């Protein structure tokens, strides 16, 4: 019975847990229940990854109605891989959140916080595994609403403005996606993704479909924070509670990138989007512009959360860059970096969260001299930071390696060169923090004797991520094969549409 429902459980479990948590209304029990359910999602995601590794897909007809009349969940190696990333990060952040969130969110609100967290996860999982374009929008709404709530729960009141801006931008993005899906429906009479892919061919060059593509691309670009539509992200990441930032940085933009991949490769088809509409030029230029502009802005920040937020926008640029190359290696690099970047950014934001837990500040001045007082936290920050830079033996290196290879494959020396140059910015902004932590004396007003390492329950998830950064930087067989399988699934999707298979 369990096997039969494998493809729907990642979204059902958190969806059922979220209302339960509100009914229980006890912070500790709420946390425990959430962790159990989310942990179960990790187990299921592993099952899904191994079940789809051979290139097959699991389909699940909800209500027993066969698609396109009913809604189906459809898991292939592409979304299984992203789903695994999301559920692993969600679990580790929950472990971290127990202490971290308790210190940042009012005690009374904790059950509601965990409920919103579960709703957010359920929404993200739903977006990932659904095979229906409108159902995707419904889950997008769930995850977005929950995200705005999560961002707005920090003690710093500035989070309200950040959440409001995020809400306005996010709603515009979601509306654009809905308008686009509506146009597709009008021309094809279906909402099922595979069915859409098949029927869209007959009407491919129609102006309504072109407009639908434009609206969906712009809407998704807002959601994934593609330069220059990223302005909501730095504020939201800076003012959200630490654990929320760690969670969002590892999951939310990644899922939006998946949505773009799904629409481009499975529904519209790469041939239409890239050859006919020449989207790859626009996307490539925006990705590179984002990498450089946001990396540069990151070097000028003194608030470390803002610094890392700008770095995140730049990293989104790398992922999109891989997509714009439209090749197996490029897509593999993108999927790899979705996973790898989740590992490093979640670890970095956890480390910053740990500093906030002790210092009550994330300004660079608070980091001074922390190398000695919070050795575990700062060494975690350092290793994850090296990973962002792309130093060998970390996952960051693997991502960059595949990205540069993909660029060179097409003889695109300029792109390969620019990717490497952009890494120098990361050296500057990560180096700045490391310098403060290890080579500067603590600032005078900080009461030095009171500063000590954070509780073990915060260090364990942080270090699990750091170790994963190193492990998957050395043994790449698992991640690369999963990412390659995912890239193949996406490309096959479009060749299936093109009638090659």
Partner 1 sequence: MTVLIDLILLAMLVITAFRIIYIKDLFSVVMLFGIYSFLCAALFVTLDAVDVAFTEASVGAGISTVLMLSTIAITGRKEKLSLHSHTFATLIVLLTGGALIYGTFDMPLFGLADNPVHEHVAPRYIETSPTEIGLPNMVTSVLASYRGFDTFGETVVVFAAAIGVFSLLGVRGKPTELLAQEQGLTQHKVLRVVAKISIPLIILFALYVQFHGDFGPGGGFQAGVIAAAAFILYALTFSLRKAVGVVSPRFVKYLAPVGVLLYASVGLVSMLNGANFLDYNVLAADPVDGQHYGIIIIELGVGITVFSVMLGIFYAFAGQVEKANVQ
Q: Is 471 in the site for partner 1 (CB under 8 A)?
A: no
CB of 322 to partner 1, least distance (A): 28
Q: Is the dihedral of CA 185, 190, 195, 199 positive or negative?
A: negative
Report the Cα–Cα distance between both ends of the chain, in Å, rounded: 33
Least distance in angstroms from the C-beta of 201 to partner 1: 13
Query: Which listed residue (27, 68, 330, 369) binds partner 1 by CB under 8 A?
Result: 68
159, HSE (Cβ side, Cα atoms, 13 Å): 22
Helix (H) or strand (E) holding 60: strand 58-61
Triad 430, 431, 435: Cα angle to 5°:
125
Pull the structure tokens for residue 199: 């029927």
Residue 187 as a binder of partner 1 (CB under 8 A): the answer is yes
Residue span binding partner 1 (CB under 8 A) among the ranges 20-28, 37-45, 316-324, 448-456 = 20-28
Task: Give dist(CA 287, CA 330) in Å, integer.
Answer: 14
H/E element, 239? helix 232-239
| Least distance CB 131 / partner 1 (angstroms) | 11
Instruction: Measure the CA–CA gap between 28 and 35, rounded to whole angstroms.
Output: 11
3-state secondary structure 89-145: HHHHHHHHHHHHHHHHCCHHHHHHHHHHHHHHHHHHHHHHHECEHHHHHHHHHHHHH
396 near partner 1 (CB under 8 A): no
Q: Is 500 in the site for partner 1 (CB under 8 A)?
A: no
Give the whole-angstrom CA distance, residue 378 versus residue 355. 9
Shortest separation between residue 61's beta carbon and partner 1, angstroms: 6
- Contacts (Cβ under 8 Å, ≥6 apart) of 328: 484, 487, 488, 491
Q: Which is nearer to partner 1, 152 or 315 (CB)?
A: 152
Instruction: Choose the binding region for partner 1 from 130-138, 267-275, 427-435, 456-464 (rule: CB under 8 A).
Output: 130-138
Shortest approach of partner 1 to residue 279 CB, angstroms? Answer: 15
Map residues 26-65 to x or -, x wherever contact with partner 1 holds by CB under 8 A: ----------------------------------xxxxxx
Alpha carbon distance 203, 288 (integer Å):
33
Of 208 and 481, nearer to partner 1 (C-beta) is: 208
Asked if residue 212 binds partner 1 (CB under 8 A), the reply is yes
Rounded Cα gap, residues 334 and 472, in angstroms: 16
Of 374, 384, 365, 398, residue with least CA distance to 474: 398
Shortest distance, position 241 Cβ to partner 1, whole Å? 12
Q: Which of residues 239-298 bind partner 1 (CB under 8 A)?
A: none
Report the C-alpha gap between 48 and 184 in whole angstroms.
Answer: 30
Tell the smallest beta-carbon distance from residue 24 to partner 1 (Å).
Answer: 10
Nearest to 403 by CA among 487, 460, 470: 487
Q: Is there binding between residue 210 and partner 1 (CB under 8 A)?
A: yes
Residue nearer to partner 1 on the CB measure, 46 or 185:
185
When asked if residue 401 is in the footprint of partner 1 (CB under 8 A), the reply is no
Near partner 1 by CB under 8 A: residue from 6, 102, 112, 496: 112
Q: Does 232 help bind partner 1 (rule: CB under 8 A)?
A: no
- Tell me the per-residue interface mask from 161 to 180 with partner 1, x by CB under 8 A, - otherwise: ------------------x-
x/- mask, partner 1, residues 145-164, rule CB under 8 A, reads xx-xx--xx-----------
The DSSP bridge partners found for residue 59 are 74
Residue 158 CB-density burial (10 A; 0-12 exposed, 13-18 middle, 19+ buried):
exposed
- Our CB check for partner 1 shows the closer of 152 and 306 to be 152
User: Min. distance of Cβ 69 from partner 1 in angstroms?
Assistant: 5
82, 86, 92, 122: residue in contact with partner 1 (rule CB under 8 A): 122
With binding defined as CB under 8 A, does residue 15 bind partner 1? yes
Tokens of 67: 């698609």
Give contact residues for partner 1 (rule: CB under 8 A). 1, 4-5, 8, 12, 15-16, 18-20, 22-23, 60-65, 68-71, 108-109, 112-113, 115-116, 119, 122-123, 126, 134-135, 138-139, 141-142, 145-146, 148-149, 152-153, 179, 183, 185-191, 199, 203, 206-212, 214-215
């Amino acid at each position: 019975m369990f096997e039969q429902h494998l493809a729907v459980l990642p979204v059902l479990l958190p969806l059922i847990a979220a209302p339960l948590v509100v009914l229980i209304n006890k912070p500790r029990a709420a946390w425990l229940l959430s962790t159990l359910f989310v942990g179960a999602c990790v187990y299921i995601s592993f099952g899904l990854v191994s079940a789809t590794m051979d290139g097959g897909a699991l389909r699940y007809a909800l209500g027993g109605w066969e698609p396109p009349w009913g809604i189906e969940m459809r898991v292939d190696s592409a979304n299984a891989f992203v789903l695994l990333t999301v559920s692993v990060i969600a679990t580790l952040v929950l472990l971290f959140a127990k202490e971290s969130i308790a210190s940042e969110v009012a005690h009374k609100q904790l059950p509601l916080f965990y409920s919103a967290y579960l709703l957010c996860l359920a929404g993200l999982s739903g977006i990932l595994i659904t095979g229906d374009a409108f159902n995707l929008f419904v889950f997008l709404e769930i995850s977005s609403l929950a995200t705005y709530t999560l961002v707005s729960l920090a003690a710093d009141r500035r989070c309200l403005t950040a959440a409001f801006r995020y809400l306005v931008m996010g709603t515009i993005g979601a509306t654009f996606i809905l308008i686009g899906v509506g146009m597709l429906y009008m021309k094809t009479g279906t909402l099922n993704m595979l069915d859409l892919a098949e029927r869209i061919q007959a009407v491919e060059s129609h102006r309504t479909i072109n407009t639908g593509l434009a609206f969906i691309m712009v809407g998704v670009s807002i959601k994934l924070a593609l330069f220059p539509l990223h302005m909501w992200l730095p504020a939201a990441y800076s003012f959200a509670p630490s654990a929320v930032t760690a969670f969002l940085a590892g999951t939310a933009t990644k899922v939006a990138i998946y949505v773009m991949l799904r629409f481009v490769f499975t529904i519209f088809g790469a041939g239409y989007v890239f050859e006919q509409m020449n989207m790859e030029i626009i996307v490539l230029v925006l990705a590179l512009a984002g990498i450089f502009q946001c990396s540069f802005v990151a070097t000028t920040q003194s608030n470390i959360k803002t610094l890392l937020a700008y770095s995140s926008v730049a990293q989104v640029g790398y992922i999109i860059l891989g997509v714009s190359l439209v090749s197996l290696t490029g897509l593999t690099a993108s999927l790899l970096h979705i996973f790898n970047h989740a590992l490093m950014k979640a670890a970095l934001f956890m480390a910053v969260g740990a500093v906030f837990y002790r210092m009550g500040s994330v300004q660079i001045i608070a980091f001074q001299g922390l190398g000695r007082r919070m050795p575990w936290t700062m060494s975690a920050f350092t290793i994850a930071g090296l990973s962002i830079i792309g130093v060998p033996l970390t996952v960051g290196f693997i991502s960059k390696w595949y990205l540069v290879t993909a660029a060179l494959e097409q003889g695109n020396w300029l792109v390969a060169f620019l990717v490497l140059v952009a890494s120098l910015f990361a050296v500057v902004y990560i180096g700045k923090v490391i310098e403060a932590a290890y080579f500067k004396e603590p600032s005078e007003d900080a009461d030095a004797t009171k500063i000590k390492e954070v509780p073990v329950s915060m260090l364990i998830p942080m270090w699990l991520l750091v170790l994963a950064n190193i492990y998957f930087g050395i043994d790449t067989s698992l991640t690369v094969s999963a990412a390659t399988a995912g890239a193949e699934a996406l490309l096959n999707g479009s060749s299936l549409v093109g009638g090659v298979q």
